A and B are shown apart, each in its own frame.
Chain A
Amino acid sequence: DGGITQSPKYLFRKEGQNVTLSCEQNLNHDAMYWYRQDPGQGLRLIYYSQIVNDFQKGDIAEGYSVSREKKESFPLTVTSAQKNPTAFYLCASSIRESNTEAFFGQGTRLTVV
C-alpha cells in the first residue's frame, strides 16, 4: 500500500540534544513537507521540498534542519537551538504541481524531558 511512514511514533529528548524524525513515502510524490501542530493552533509549516536536493524554509524553520537526498525520504532534525520543541510533528507529501491534496503520515510526538 502506498503511503507515508513516520518514525518513531513517540520520541523523548533531553535538553541540549539533537533528534532526527524520519519520514518516508512510496507515493512517488515530488513535494514533501514538515508541519508542527500545537494545541489550539493550526498546522505550521517548518520546511518543504519540491524536488530532490532542494528545500525551503517555512514559517517556523528556526531550530530545525532537513535534507532531501532521496525522493522518498525527508528527515527532520530538531536541534538544541529549538527552544520549545515539544509538539506533534507531521510529515506530508503531494504531487509537485498541486498541494490541494496532501497525504499525511501518522505523526511523531516529541517530548522534551
Chain B
Amino acid sequence: QKEVEQDPGPLSVPEGAIVSLNCTYSNSAFQYFMWYRQYSRKGPELLMYTYSSGNKEDGRFTAQVDKSSKYISLFIRDSQPSDSATYLCAMVYTGGFKTIFGAGTRLFVKA
C-alpha cells in the first residue's frame, strides 16, 4: 500500500465549476500537508501548505485537512482554463526531512 494515494484522473470540468481534489494517506505521523500545481513539462510550484488539521484559504483555493480520516482536499472555486494542470499532494513527517508525494491528479477546465 502506498503511503499517499491520489486519484490520477483525468478530471474534466466546465469553466466556473468548483473542483475538489483529494488524497488519502496511511501514516498518522504526517503533520505538514502541501499542494503543488504542475503544468505540462514544467516543474511543480507550491500552491499552499497547512500544518495539522483545519482549513486554509488563499484566493480561489482552499486546503482542508482531516487527520482523523487521514484525508486532505484542495478546493478550487470558479475554476478557470488556466487551472488546467496536474495537482500533486505532498506530506512531511513531524521532524522529518523527506517529502512524500502523491501521483498527481490531472485537471482539465473547459472554456
Contact A48 to B44, CB < 8 A, known contacts A42-B104, A100-B49? no
The complex places the Cα of A58 from the Cα of B100 at a distance, in Å, of 11
Contact A99 to B99, CB < 8 A, known contacts A42-B88, A106-B43? yes
Binding site for A on B (CB under 8 A): 4, 6, 8, 32, 34, 41-46, 49, 88, 92, 97-104
The complex places the Cα of A50 from the Cα of B6 at a distance, in Å, of 29
Say what secondary structure dominates the interface of chain B. strand
Binding site for B on A (CB under 8 A): 4, 6, 35, 40-43, 45, 48, 50, 58, 88, 90, 92, 99-107, 109
Chain B residues within an 8 Å CB radius of A58: 98
The complex places the Cα of A105 from the Cα of B38 at a distance, in Å, of 11
Q: Residue among A4, A6, A48, A99 with the most chain B CB within 10 A?
A: A99
Contact A42 to B101, CB < 8 A, known contacts A99-B92, A100-B32, A100-B34? yes
Q: Are A106 and B99 in contact (CB under 8 A)?
A: no
Chain A residues within an 8 Å CB radius of B103: 40-42
